[in-house]
A = this chain, B = another copy of it.
Amino acid sequence: MPFTTFMPQALDEARAAAARGEVPVGAVIVSAHGEILATAGNETREGHDPTAHAEILAIRRACSGIRSERLTNCTLWVTLEPCPMCAAAIAHARIARLYYGASDPKSGGIETGPRLYDHPNLHHKPEIITGIEEKECRKILKDFFQLKRFQRDTD
């Protein structure tokens, strides 16, 4: 089967988040049959919800849709390396494979800092594929924070 990427859809969610003034991260959850179960972008600001990262929202929506607290055999596509909260949620949901774009040395929880999946008390570890459309994933974030700084400095 040829490799099908869902990063374009995750990037669309990231761009939509930026347009709403949210940190531009987007996520997509895909079933074993290649069906999109959920998409989400960050909603922490508008939702007044510090847990409303793209990954958490996508997991909650996908689980609600299939009426299960497990997303076994599903894949999660996200533009940025998940933070420790999201990395642990991915383990709780038993997601099989995690594809992400840009690394996050400042707030990531997988390659850096607590390196969550290196610990046995995370009772599940997804297969991890990194660097998918990394340049574009990183550019959206860089542009967003540059614009924020410009707006703040010219305020």
Q: Which residues of A contact B (CB under 8 A)?
A: 44-45, 47-51, 56, 59-60, 63-64, 66-70, 83-89, 92-94, 105-109, 112-116, 118-123
> In the complex, A94→B56 CA distance in Å?
18
Asked whether B107 lies within 8 Å of A113 as measured between CB atoms, the reply is no
Please tell me if the beta carbons of A69 and B84 are within 8 angstroms of each other in the complex: no
Cβ of A75 to closest chain B Cβ, rounded Å: 16
- Residue of A87, A106, A122 with most partner-chain B CB within 10 A: A122
Q: Which of B48, B56, B93 contacts A69, CB < 8 Å?
A: B48
Residues of B within 8 A of A51 (CB): 51, 56, 59-60, 89, 92-93
**What are 16 A-B residue pairs whose CB atoms fall within 8 Å in the complex?**
A44-B92, A48-B63, A48-B69, A49-B60, A50-B70, A50-B92, A51-B93, A84-B85, A84-B114, A85-B86, A85-B89, A107-B121, A107-B123, A108-B121, A114-B119, A114-B121
Give complex CA distance A113, B113 in Å: 13
Partner of A48, one of B44, B48, B64, B116: B64
- In the complex, the chain B residue whose C-beta lies closest to that of A93 is B50
Residues of B within 8 A of A105 (CB): 121
For A123, the closest partner residue in chain B by CB is: B107
**Contact of B69 with A59 in the complex, beta carbons under 8 Å:** no
Point out the residues of chain B lying under 8 angstroms from A119, CB to CB. 113-114
